[in-house]
Structure 1
Amino acid sequence: MDKENSFKREQTSHSHQHNDCISKAKTRFLERLRERGKAIGTNDEPVLNLLLSNHGIFSAYDIAEKISESGKRVRPIQIYRSLEKLINLGLVHRLSTMNGYIACFEDGECATGQFFICTECESVKEIDSQLLDREILGSAQENNFSIASKNIEVLGLCGHCQHTSN
């Protein structure tokens, strides 16, 4: 992600109000910390809050820069530690094709890892196709293949960007 486009997504809400998404995700965060006997790290909450601010993708460097702008100086290594913790808690996903991170807005356990990623505004829609998930697991079993990661990242244009590009 280049610097010019990395913050473009902050203005790209596409009229989606997701205060409920944020509230549910924060509740899940606290519940999972409690369940696993973990403490909130110094950077965990600011990192999660930034990722929850929209449905866009952030690199670790984007996150470090944005948090540092608020007066708290952080290094990327600190952000990577928080991201790893949040990934392990099932609250954040790493998107390989975009070299970035996104908050998980799913209510339950997030097991499928399927995403539509807009290449124009970098908005991300997480989907949960149990059918697709079963097909992948079945094919892996048929081919004696052990799955390490089953994230599926589909790149294209979101509805908003399709209409604005015409």
Structure 2
Amino acid sequence: MDYTFYLKEFNSVIEIIPKEEFERCNLEVAIEVVLESAALKVYNPEWSGDPLSPLDATGRIFFSIWINEQSIKERKVYYNIHALKVRTLTNYSISSRKFAQDFRSEFLKYQKDWPNVSVDCGPLTLMQGWVDLKVEKLQKNVFELVQNFLKISFTIDRVLALYKKDNI
């Protein structure tokens, strides 16, 4: 697999999205090789157990788009929102299953905008889907997925607010 090619494609997409769009939502981007996949992650450091090292924190929430050998064979680009060990997030008292259920209830309003998406996952994956892997459409498809996430990222903040320790 040519990681360099896919990482370059992901970087090209992020370069055309104004930084203000990410800043408005307090979001950051990481593009890297993870678990033998070229991956693009969008996250808010506050959605982690360690805001200074959010991608390494045990508990964290992030949006991911990835391509690996298997997805290339399947001709698919996968995406999802992970909510890993949210019960470990400081300042929150969260049940993973309840958090996933609350997020999915909110997400239903936007589900039609996400191609081939499913919310029929365990509590660690809030939603997951895929788009066709066509090199000539890769940047366009990744751009649309990132834009979709920018439009719904506030739902994570809204659901997290329900579990803020001050609110309980």
Q: TM-score, normalised by structure 2?
A: 0.31
Bigger Rg, which one: 1
Higher strand share: 2
For CA contacts below 8 A with separation 6 or more, give which structure has more relative contact order.
1
Q: TM-score, normalised by structure 1?
A: 0.32
